């Protein structure tokens, strides 16, 4: 850490509740330890187009409870090119930035890995994504808040489903992972969860109908992970219309509602711990690692492992949903 005097921080990819708590923790921990902090606006876009400003302790006052990210986030096609990354590195040098903390998901950390390898930059990542789909960590920043948002929405939808005796498909986010759908189904008492991890094993929709879920109930809620293979909730509702016309199906797509809102206590604490640990990691000479959490302990996860999706979802949860929905 002796050569590091200034640390840059950016948020990239989809926003997630708790990102601001992480920004606050990184900034104040770095300042507490005697380093300058530079806030990079709009993710990698800000590096390429030089949107960089110094952050003080006051810069991150009163943000721990806010959703979104005060640093903003944006896509940046230029950073995917060698020329764009060269410009980003030159802007870093001009700003005096010696190391980076990158908060984001799969694509953001993949970009960080490539950038670090090309220019030998110390970079530490924080897992900021509601999808909970990064390897080497039990939870990601924003996942708990998104899960609670889903539960709140499903509780309200159930009132209508019960009143009208309907089958509701509620589509949630998740990218390529079914964590939000599966655990949302368990927590909300939904009748089923249709997730990408099961798409090659069984016809999940036919299994739901054939289980005779209407024998003991006059309504049902099914949580569906967004999935181009099944067509998501709209695709499944169309199948119901064509194959099981006796059922009155409706669709609710929660969409970006899941990304917003004030972070839960769990996400604020996780983001704060991880943010502070990012500075410790740089202090220890770590580079090209993500801060993860395993069994309650913070760990260092190589970027290559964090972005390979080696963590398997607990499919016993599917059986739990079935048992508890009879």
User: Exactly one of 15, 106, 131, 267 is catalytic; which is it?
Assistant: 131
DSSP 8-state symbol, 14: S
- Non-local (6+) Cβ contacts of 198 within 8 A are 178, 204, 315, 318
Concatenated DSSP letters for 107-126?
Answer: HHHHHHHHHHHHHT--EEEE
Residue 262 in tokens: 């004030």
Position of tokens 């220890």? Answer: 284
The H or E element spanning position 142 is none
CA–CA gap between residue 68 and residue 75 (Å, rounded) = 15
DSSP 8-state symbol, 128: B
Q: Are 13 and 134 in contact, with CB atoms under 8 Å apart?
A: no
Concatenated DSSP letters for 175-188?
Answer: TT--HHHHHHHHHH
Q: Cα–chain-centroid distance for residue 9? A: 18
Q: Is the dihedral of CA 141, 144, 147, 151 positive or negative?
A: negative
Q: Are 49 and 92 in contact, with CB atoms under 8 Å apart?
A: no
Bridge partners (DSSP) of residue 193 are 223
CA–CA gap between residue 164 and residue 248 (Å, rounded) = 9
Bridge partners (DSSP) of residue 99 are 7
CA–CA gap between residue 217 and residue 78 (Å, rounded) = 53
Quick check: is 159 catalytic? no
Q: Are 70 and 22 in contact, with CB atoms under 8 Å apart?
A: no
Q: Cα–chain-centroid distance for residue 35? A: 29
Residues catalogued as catalytic:
131
């Amino acid at each position: 850490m002796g050569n590091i005097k200034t640390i840059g921080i950016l948020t990239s990819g989809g926003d997630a509740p708790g990102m601001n708590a992480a920004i606050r923790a990184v900034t104040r921990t770095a300042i507490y330890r005697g380093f300058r902090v530079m806030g990079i606006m709009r993710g990698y876009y800000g590096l390429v187009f030089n949107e960089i400003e110094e952050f003080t302790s006051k810069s991150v006052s009163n943000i721990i409870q806010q959703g979104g990210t005060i640093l903003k986030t944006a896509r940046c096609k230029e950073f995917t090119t060698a020329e764009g990354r060269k410009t980003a590195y030159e802007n870093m040098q001009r700003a005096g930035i010696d190391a980076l903390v990158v908060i984001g998901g799969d694509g953001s950390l993949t970009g960080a890995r490539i950038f670090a390898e090309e220019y030998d930059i110390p970079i530490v990542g924080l897992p900021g994504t509601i999808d909970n789909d990064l390897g080497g960590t039990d939870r990601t920043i924003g996942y708990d808040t998104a899960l609670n948002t889903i539960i709140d929405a499903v509780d309200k939808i159930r009132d209508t489903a019960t009143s009208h005796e309907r089958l509701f498909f509620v589509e949630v986010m998740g990218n390529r992972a079914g964590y939000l759908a599966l655990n949302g189904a368990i927590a909300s008492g939904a009748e089923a969860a249709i997730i990408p991890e099961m798409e090659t094993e069984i016809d999940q929709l036919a299994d739901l109908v054939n289980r005779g879920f209407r024998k003991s109930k006059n309504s049902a809620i099914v949580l569906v992970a967004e999935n181009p293979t099944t067509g998501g909730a709209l695709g499944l509702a169309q199948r119901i219309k064509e194959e099981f016309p006796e059922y009155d199906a409706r669709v609710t797509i929660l969409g970006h509602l899941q990304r917003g809102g004030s972070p839960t206590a769990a996400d604020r604490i996780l983001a704060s711990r991880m943010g502070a640990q990012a500075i410790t990691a740089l202090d220890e000479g770590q580079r090209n690692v993500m801060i993860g959490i395993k069994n309650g302990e913070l760990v260092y996860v190589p970027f290559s492992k964090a972005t390979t999706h080696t963590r398997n979802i607990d499919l016993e949860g599917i059986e739990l949903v079935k048992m508890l929905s009879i």
